[in-house]
A and B are shown apart, each in its own frame.
Chain A
């Protein structure tokens, strides 16, 4: 009788532990998914600004036509349906880099820097960049928590059986860790 009771107690404890591990993994995976969805919304907001940005600067920027074309192309690729999360992350990194080079090049065009429409666009972009930067950091933190859970003992055993795999983080440049400041880039 005592042995039966001990076996029952151990079984119940094991079940509780397994349920807890299962729920923790689900929670971490959902957290990553939720934050990625919010990040995606912000990235789309930025993609929507790109046509305006390109039309505002293309009249002035004679030597950056290739970069502007690349930005438009990246936007088109990012707007395609059915692209994977990893592809979105790669496209975002490429787009951020291309936008960064445009921002630096603005310095060579004083007329553009004085354009009201462009200044307004710059303000909106600054705010969206701050939000995207926060979203990337939040996503990376959620992914780190998730990746730790699927690699650490004992959660890794269940994660493997649930088919959970390692997720990719957004690349964050050192300058971005200090706070993105497009205004400063424009005024460089």
Chain B
């Protein structure tokens, strides 16, 4: 369950190398290439992780969920996404997909440009504690700020404060969610992720976003497919690790 079978993994990577060679030889159009990449690489990868996971290539998480995460207090003018996956790990319901958020800008001459706010993986899972407010955890480098209804909360762990900025509507709730053990686990998760991590606790869910700056499931022809496959395996494993590391399956009595 939810761990790669080594043989499947080797076959998928081998197939991805052959696939790359095949693509260059036949000069298939890019669109067709992406579609084939998803069908023949991404889909089997997800199935190899857990055959109960449901992969829907042309769907994504809802925009309401993205807004509920409070990651982006700025205006979002265009929302798109794909490669929706949903399932259960250790009894915890989760879903994730790639999402892309753009903001429209018009200059004085009427020219329109699109600014990429976020492009990466967006993940939602049930959280094991009740929450009434919103607690947002940003990496130090996050440039879009926090929602206006939250305030900066200094936690009682200096190392955690160095790595993350916490904003929330309720200081007690933030401390209730971010126990010393939880802060330690989040720092461990941060070590596993190669990109910036955004985390929000709201509506009894944990929201997590990894900003890759590009669609992790698209495969540009100039990048070896095996690199993309390895990146995707890393993301999948990270998301499963989030559920296990944060012990989301260990529900408090109040939520049983």
Q: B153 contacts which chain A residues (CB < 8 A)?
A: 141
Name the contact of B172 in the complex, choosing from A38, A126, A145, A178 (C-beta under 8 A).
Answer: A38
By the criterion of a CB under 8 Å from any partner CB, how many residues of chain B are at the interface?
A: 16
Q: Which residues 153-188 in A have Cβ within 8 Å of B in the complex?
A: 177-179
A127 touches B254 (CB 8 A): yes
User: Which 9 A-B residue pairings sit nearest by Cβ, starting from the closest?
Assistant: A134-B176, A123-B253, A134-B175, A138-B171, A138-B175, A127-B254, A137-B175, A138-B172, A135-B172
Complex Cα distance, B181 from A137, in Å, reads 14
7 example contacts (A-B, Cβ-Cβ < 8 A) are as follows A31-B171, A123-B253, A135-B175, A137-B156, A141-B175, A178-B180, A179-B179
B43 at the interface (CB under 8 A from A): no
Residues of A within 8 A of B156 (CB): 137, 140-141
Give every chain A residue within 8 A of B102 (Cβ-Cβ): none
Bound Cα distance A31, B168 (Å): 13
Q: Which residue of B lies closest to A27 (CB)?
A: B151
Secondary structure at chain B's binding surface: helix, strand, loop or mixed? helix
Taken residue by residue from 149 to 189, chain B's Cβ proximity to chain A (1 for < 8 Å, 0 otherwise) reads as 00001111000000000000001111110011100000000
User: With contacts A145-B154, A178-B180 known, is A127 near B174, CB below 8 A?
Assistant: no
Min CB–CB distance B250 → chain A (angstroms): 11
Residue of A nearest to B171 (CB): A138
- In the bound complex, residues from chain B placing their C-beta under 8 Å from that of A177 are 180
Q: How far is the CA of A124 from the CA of B253 in the complex (A)?
A: 7
A175 to B48, CA, bound (A): 42
Question: A interface vs B, CB < 8 Å?
Answer: 31, 35, 38-39, 123-124, 126-127, 130-131, 133-135, 137-138, 140-142, 145, 177-179
Q: Given A127-B252, A127-B254, A130-B252: A138 and B180 within 8 A (CB)?
A: no
How many Å lie between the Cα of A138 and that of B179 in the bound state? 11
Partner pick for B181 among A35, A124, A178, CB 8 A cutoff = A178
Q: How far is the CA of A177 from the CA of B181 in the complex (A)?
A: 9
**How many whole Å from A152's CB to the nearest CB in chain B?**
15
Least CB separation from A34: chain B residue: B171
Q: Give the chain B neighbours of A127 by CB distance below 8 A.
A: 252-254
CA distance A38 to B171 in the complex (A): 10
Chain B residues near A140: list those with CB within 8 A.
156
State the CA gap A141–B175 with chains docked (Å): 10
- A4 to B179: give the CA distance in the assembly, Å: 56
Q: Which residue of B173, B181, B252, B253 contacts A134 across the interface (Cβ within 8 Å)?
A: B173
Q: B88 CB to closest chain A CB, in angstroms?
A: 25
Q: Chain B's nearest CB lies how many Å from the CB of A116?
A: 14
CA distance A38 to B174 in the complex (A): 13
CA distance A134 to B183 in the complex (A): 13
Q: Which residue of A lies closest to B253 (CB)?
A: A123
Residues of B within 8 A of A137 (CB): 156, 175
Q: Given the known inter-chain contacts A123-B253, A179-B181, please indicate yes or no for A130 contacting B171, CB distance below 8 A.
A: no
Closest to B178 in A: A134
Contacts of A39 in B (CB 8 A): 172
Closest to B182 in A: A179
Q: Is the CB of B181 within 8 A of A138?
A: no
Q: Closest residue of chain B to A123, judged by CB?
A: B253
